[in-house]
């Protein structure tokens, strides 16, 4: 087993299509994606219920921009720093390259979105490969979101 890390964002006003998460595996390690959690705190009335499209893609060679670069936090508090590069909430999405779509979901924003991959179905990024969790639907109005991506680095 490798080292487990979380990448999170909280209290972000989301108004546009974006890469909610962008990760790049270290050059000397593979990265497994274990879990994705998303929630929001503003859309509470029935009239505001929305369905947003989420997509897991990989193979982009150009990073997105417009977001932030949080530090991946180790689950074992005293563990080494992550080698994975992470960005969140990029409003200019990662692009170019041989991009493939691995999974697609529709998220009803009235309930939290939680996807835990089984060991057999975990997405695996080879060394230096980029992946994104994209929100490909523009929200009807601003929603305040939070999210966490749980990853594992093996190697290095």
Residue 86, class by beta-carbon neighbours within 10 Å (0-12 exposed, 13-18 middle, 19+ buried)? buried
- Extract the tokens encoding 102: 């691995």
pTM: 0.94
**Whether pLDDT at 70 is above 70:** yes
**pLDDT grade for 1, boundaries at 50, 70 and 90:** confident
78-93 pLDDT per residue, tens: 899 999 999 999 999 9
| Cβ contacts of 50 within 8 Å, gap of 6 or more | 43, 108, 109, 137, 139, 140, 143
The CA angle 103-32-34, to the nearest 5 degrees, is 70
pLDDT reported for residue 47: 53
12-51 pLDDT per residue, tens: 999 999 999 999 999 999 999 999 999 999 866 655 678 9
């Amino acid at each position: 087993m490798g080292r487990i890390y979380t990448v999170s964002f909280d209290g972000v006003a989301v108004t546009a299509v974006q890469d909610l998460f962008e990760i790049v595996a270290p050059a000397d390690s593979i990265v497994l994606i274990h879990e994705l959690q998303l929630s929001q705190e503003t859309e509470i009335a029935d009239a505001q219920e929305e369905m947003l499209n989420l997509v897991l893609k990989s193979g982009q060679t150009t990073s997105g921009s417009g977001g932030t670069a949080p530090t991946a936090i180790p689950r074992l508090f005293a563990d080494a720093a992550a080698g994975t590069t992470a960005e969140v909430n990029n409003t200019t999405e990662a692009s170019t390259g041989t991009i493939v779509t691995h999974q697609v979901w529709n998220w009803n924003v009235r309930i939290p979105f939680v996807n835990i991959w089984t060991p057999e179905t975990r997405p695996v990024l080879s060394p230096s490969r980029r992946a994104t969790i994209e929100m490909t639907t523009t929200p009807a109005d601003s929603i305040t979101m939070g999210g966490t991506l749980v990853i594992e680095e093996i190697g290095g």
